[in-house]
Amino acid sequence: MLDPTGALAHDEHRRLRAHGSAVQVDVLGVPAWSISDPVLLKELLTSAQVSKDARAHWPAFQETIQRWPLALWVAVENMFTAYGADHRRLRRMVAPAFSHRRITALQKNIDALVTGLLDDLDALAPGEVVDLRDRLAYPLPIAVIGDLMGVPADQREAFRHVVDGVFDTTLTAAQSEANTAALYEALHTLIAAKRAAPGDDMTSLLITSRDEDQDSGSGMSEDELRDTLLLMISAGYETTVNVIDQAVTQLLTHPDQLALLRSGKADWGDAVEETLRLEPAVRHLPLRYAVTDLTLPDGQKIAQGEAILASYAAANRHPDWHGDSADTFDLTRPLKEHLAFGHGVHFCLGAPLARMEVITALRLLFTRFPDLELAVEPAELQPLGSLISNGHQTLPVRLRPTA
């Protein structure tokens, strides 16, 4: 039974690996096969015999969504849950927003956003404790994805609250349902506003494309439009918050590794990739489904229609992949390969943007505040209440020592 609070996640991941490449687990009352072996996980993530379409390939779908707190994760209609031709169709419509040219063009804006956030922090008195998750890790990705999607500034805080609820696995089914209703209300409000007054943003472009192509059979349905916006806003925000949070935490608790950055023996990209490997933003990702009976290398069988859970965090620290030092934060590790952004056709489109945001935040933060330090003992940092999202409730730091 997976712990919904995430309190002892690393111990849980070790237990999963101890059971072999795949083990049956309980995900808030839903049975699934947790895959923690990276070789097997990559194989399943690229197999046409594994689907993300719950409606088509999960017999328990209708019964489960009536009572499961994570129903939204399997019920949305966008490329996250699409399979085959539907996935290719939806991904093709979104991909232009994350082209190399568009992402590169965002660097100057990201620099300015981080600089502005650090300017505000610079005004704090020496020794004052500040929550860096709230003052840097949260507002940066919200601003970036908000600008990209055209979310008005006065609506971004509301989106932050409901997106947090999507990743909170301590909610009851009723609380989760209420959170989903609030999230959809915010999305409907955004869509209506952009239809009435389109702007130079991805939401307006998707609405125009959907409305022009609705009779062609190649465009999005209204539900797919809504859920695509949900995916882009939530995935573009929550995961990046966690990577910034975890990267800062790792560097402050490993001063020897921070010294490598300052001496030029490692770069900020190394810090980001090793953080993504050691502490990925998403621990477990629900769900996939066996399209046919699957026989695993160890002889176990996943029956057609059974659910599969991608346990990325456990796989990233697998000793068969990264040796005896798999649990160690090491910027000089020659192979920092990981599954933090997924693998195969569902690999995260926003990965280059997330990397750019985190690298910029770290580089400018540690340059501005070279004496930055945690304001609590590392063991006092409290994890988010989630078996999915991997971050801290707060990240209290001192930017400068007390005068």
pLDDT by residue, tens only, the chain of 403 residues: 999 999 999 999 999 999 999 999 999 999 999 999 999 999 999 999 999 999 999 999 999 999 999 999 999 999 999 999 999 999 999 998 899 999 999 999 999 999 999 999 999 999 999 999 999 999 999 999 999 999 999 999 889 999 999 999 999 999 999 999 999 999 999 999 999 999 999 999 999 888 887 665 567 899 999 999 999 999 888 999 999 999 999 999 999 999 999 999 999 999 999 999 999 999 999 999 999 999 999 999 999 999 999 999 999 999 999 999 999 999 999 999 999 999 999 999 999 999 999 999 999 999 999 999 999 999 999 999 999 999 999 999 999 988 7
Report angle CA 94, 151, 284 to the nearest 5 degrees: 60
Q: How many domains does the chain have?
A: 1
Q: Is residue 403 situated within a structural domain?
A: no
As beta bridge partners, residue 26 has 31
Q: Is residue 124 situated within a structural domain?
A: yes
Domain containing residue 330: 9-398
Instruction: Enter the pTM of the model.
Output: 0.96
Q: Is residue 271 situated within a structural domain?
A: yes
Residue 30: which CATH number?
1.10.630.10
Which 8-state DSSP code applies to residue 136? I
Q: Is residue 102 situated within a structural domain?
A: yes
Q: Is residue 4 situated within a structural domain?
A: no
Query: CB atoms < 10 A from the CB of 21, how many?
Result: 23
Q: Is residue 246 situated within a structural domain?
A: yes
Angle, helices 268-278/255-263, rounded to nearest 10 degrees: 150
If residue 398 lies in a helix (H) or strand (E), which one and from where to where? strand 396-398
Q: Is residue 290 situated within a structural domain?
A: yes
